[in-house]
Structure 1
Amino acid sequence: MSESDWTRGAAAVATLTFDVDAETPILAEGRHYADHPMVMSHQSYGPDVGVPRILDLLDEMAVAATFFVPGWVAEQRPGLARSIVDRGHEVAHHSYSHRAPTSLPPGAERADFVRALDVFAAQGIDIAGHRAAMWSASHETIGLVAEYGLAYDSSLMGDDRPYLVEGTHPPVVELPVHWSLDDWEQYAYLPEPRIGSVIESPIKVEQMWRAELDGMRHYGCLFNVCMHPFLTGRPGRMMALRNLISYAKECGDVTFARCRDVAARAREDVGTARRALPSYDVDPAVYPN
């Protein structure tokens, strides 16, 4: 195994990532929800209760993680990003407003992207990576990541190992994601706005993620799990996360890393795959809508 291999000899590399969305996904559905105390308290639980609880667990387990924070959230809570970085973790760009880039009018994605960078710059937070809101990257997104000198994106699903996204811009490392490793599909529920329908047992989620990790150990993959502090920060779910981390450590062939560190290793690895963004010339006679 080469020293430049992105896995550094591990069977799988685990990146624990936390999307600190707080109130932004709900406000993106409509700013009138700001007047709904139940809904807003459901979301504020994430940064106010979930994040400190997660940071304590990561300290206890001696694991570094990456927290994707919308600029609006960092702006509303000026000490939040610094509290994460000071504990040895990474803060990464997760838009400003948490509006999906594919839903924005021309020019709006750029403005939103830059506004978030300005917030982090004002707080002295070094940003290396990006994750699109709702993972809904547009054809402009990767170009913005490259233009503003970020090292990686984590929004696409073209592999289960890091790869380089090529285009007219310099190559960007992609740390791919997948719905099967997202706690939103397992735990999220609100009656209004309508989010989710079934709240799964943490025991089931832990078993499912263990199975995914075992498969990734077999195939030499990136176990890039996405969690939200307002969801996984709940007590029973935190126990499932603790058990998952313990299991990965007991395997003896899984390493944990921040996303920025995995991206740096993938860029150094000459074997990292290179791919362009999917692009199609779609015949409107075949697909009219």
Structure 2
Amino acid sequence: MSTSAFADSQHPITWPAGFTAAASFTFDVDAESCVIAHDPTSTRRMSLMSHQSYGPKVAVPRLLQILARQDVRATFFIPGFTAESYPDVVRQIVDGGHEVAHHGYLHEPMQGIDAATEASYIDRGLEALEKVAGIRPVGYRAPWWELNWHSPALLADRGFLYDSSLLDGDAPYRMSVSSGSPAGAGDTRDIVEIPVDWTLDDWEQYAFYPGVTGSGVIESPAKVLEMWTLEAQAHHSQGSCFVLTNHPFISGRPSKAVALEQLIERVKGMDGMWVTTLEKIAEHTKATVTEVHTHARIDVPVAPGFGARFKPGRVQVPALS
């Protein structure tokens, strides 16, 4: 690129010595869970179930080969139901040296659910991953990227280091859990947020199944490779964090997997680009960033005509103990 992108001034970060930007390749191993959560009668559709099972059965082994050939460690977000259904696949991911992170139990719809219900989903997912893989994940990604105001506190209660569901930054930052915590303003805990972006999600480019999702327009991998390359170059030039979200049943298909490997090679070749897992990025953020962000809240008591109240977010620097 002839010009550099402007950095995310709201979330300043410096990277480990020798690195000027970061990148992570992440995979949401939804398998059948996401369509079942959307419509339980989906289980009656044999062809639809086969479309989803392609992910763990065919695509994940292919993606693991690509990652091994490229010597890249990735982050796999796995619903508990997927882990229970395909335990050998999850163990292959762990044996490949990759990070396993939490993605709900059955990829449950999250919008507007109460804290107790959400806690039950998180706990059941934790139990499944621990039973199958023998690990307790430190990372979380909400199904459909739909975080609730009480979600950060639930994650902090369970010892999570980071979340990757919000869309308000180009670089990771520390996020206060106080907005939705029962302790309210008295809760001083925080977790790391590693933002995502719909531009960097294969769902919007490739996903289509009749009666389930998509417009029927499936993009060419060549077009997607160009778009994601431009995004990676911009993140690299501004010193931020490129986070790509792929679904194995989509991007693990032959031509899409080839394009993905080409992208990995391009990103690895960017001078000073730290290609690693979200866990490593979150550990670095927690250890080096001092500012803790809260998020703005908007309250509309009845309807817009009755007035709305905006509570701005803020940035705090905790006092040294």
Normalised by the shorter chain, which TM-score bucket? Answer: over 0.9
Distance 1:158 1:146 in 2: 20
**Alpha-carbon separation, structure 1, partners of 2:243 and 2:85:** 28
Asked whether the 8 Å contact 2:115–2:151 carries over to 1, the reply is no
Paired residues of 2:174 and 2:293 also in contact (CA < 8 A): yes
Residue 109 (structure 1) aligned with residue 137 (structure 2): no
Deviation per residue, 1:139-182 (Å, 9 max, x gap)? 12111111000110000012110011112251100011010100
Equivalent-residue separation in structure 1 for 2:270 and 2:289 (angstroms): 28
131-140 vs 273-282, which moves further:
273-282
Equivalent residue for 2:10? none
SS in 2 for 1:225: strand
Give the aligned partner of residue 282 of structure 2.
Answer: 263
- Provide the rounded CA distance (Å) in 2 between the counterparts of 1:50 and 1:101: 27
Which residue in 2 is equivalent to 1:186?
Answer: 205
Could you tell me which residue of structure 1 aligns to residue 238 of structure 2? 219
**What is the alpha-carbon distance in structure 1 between the residues aligned to residue 294 and residue 115 of structure 2?**
22
Equivalent positions of 1:88-99 (< 5 A) are 88-99=97-108
Q: Deviations over 1:82-111 (max 9, x none)?
A: 210111100000000101321435521111
1:31-87 deviation per Cα after TM superposition (whole angstroms, max 9, x unaligned): 111010111111000011110000000000000000000001001112222210111
Most deviating of 12-21 and 273-282: 273-282
Q: Aligned Cα RMSD in Å?
A: 1.8
SS at match of 2:93: helix
Distance 2:18 2:190 in 1: 24
Report if aligned partners of 1:81, 1:125 keep a CA contact under 8 Å in 2: no
Q: 5+ unaligned residues in a row in structure 2: which ranges?
A: 1-12, 179-186, 307-321
Question: Are residues 1:175 and 2:194 paired?
Answer: yes
Structure with more relative contact order (C-alpha pairs < 8 Å, separation 6 or more): 1
Give the match for residue 118 of structure 1.
Answer: 127
Runs of 5+ consecutive residues of structure 1 not aligned to the other structure: none
Instruction: Give the deviation of 1:128 after TM superposition.
Output: 1.0
1:154 is aligned with what amino acid?
A: S
TM-score between both structures, scaled by the size of structure 1:
0.93
SS at match of 2:24: strand
- Alignment of 1:274 with 2:284, yes or no, is no
> In the alignment, is the contact (CA less than 8 A) between 2:174 and 2:289 conserved in 1?
no
Q: Alignment partner for residue 35 of structure 1, among 23, 41, 44?
A: 44
Q: Is the 8 A contact 2:162 2:194 kept in 1?
A: yes
Tell me if 1:253 matches 2:263: no
- The answer to whether the Cα contact below 8 Å between 1:147 and 1:169 also exists between their aligned partners in 2 is no
Aligned to 1:197: 216
Count, aligned residues? 285
Match of residue 145 from structure 1:
155
Show the counterpart of 1:210.
Answer: 229
State the alpha-carbon separation in 2 of the partners of residues 58 and 115 from structure 1.
29
**1:234-265 Cα deviation digits (max 9, x unpaired):** 01011111111111122222121111111000
Larger Rg: 2
Aligned residue in 1 for 2:84: 75
- Maintained 8 Å contact 1:161/1:222: yes
TM-score, normalization: structure 2?
Answer: 0.84
Task: Compute the displacement of 1:30 (Å).
Answer: 1.3
Instruction: Please say if residues 46 and 233 of structure 1, whose CA atoms lie closer than 8 Å, have aligned partners that are also in contact.
Output: yes
Is the 8 Å Cα contact of residues 143 and 169 (structure 1) preserved in structure 2? no
**CA distance 1:287–1:188, shift in 2 (3 Å):** farther
How much identity, in percent, do the aligned residues show? Answer: 39
Instruction: Flag the 1:98–1:286 CA change in 2: closer, same or farther, 3 A.
Output: same
Report the AA paired with residue 135 of structure 1.
Answer: W
- Distance across 2 between alignment mates of 1:108 and 1:80: 28
Contact 1:71 1:117 in 2 (8 A): yes
Matched, 1:235 2:235: no
- Structure 1 residue ranges (4+ consecutive) displaced by more than 4 angstroms after TM superposition: none
1:79 alignment partner, SS class = helix
The CA distance in 2 between the partners of 1:8 and 1:136, in whole Å, is 34
**8 Å contact 1:5–1:265 — kept in the other structure?**
no
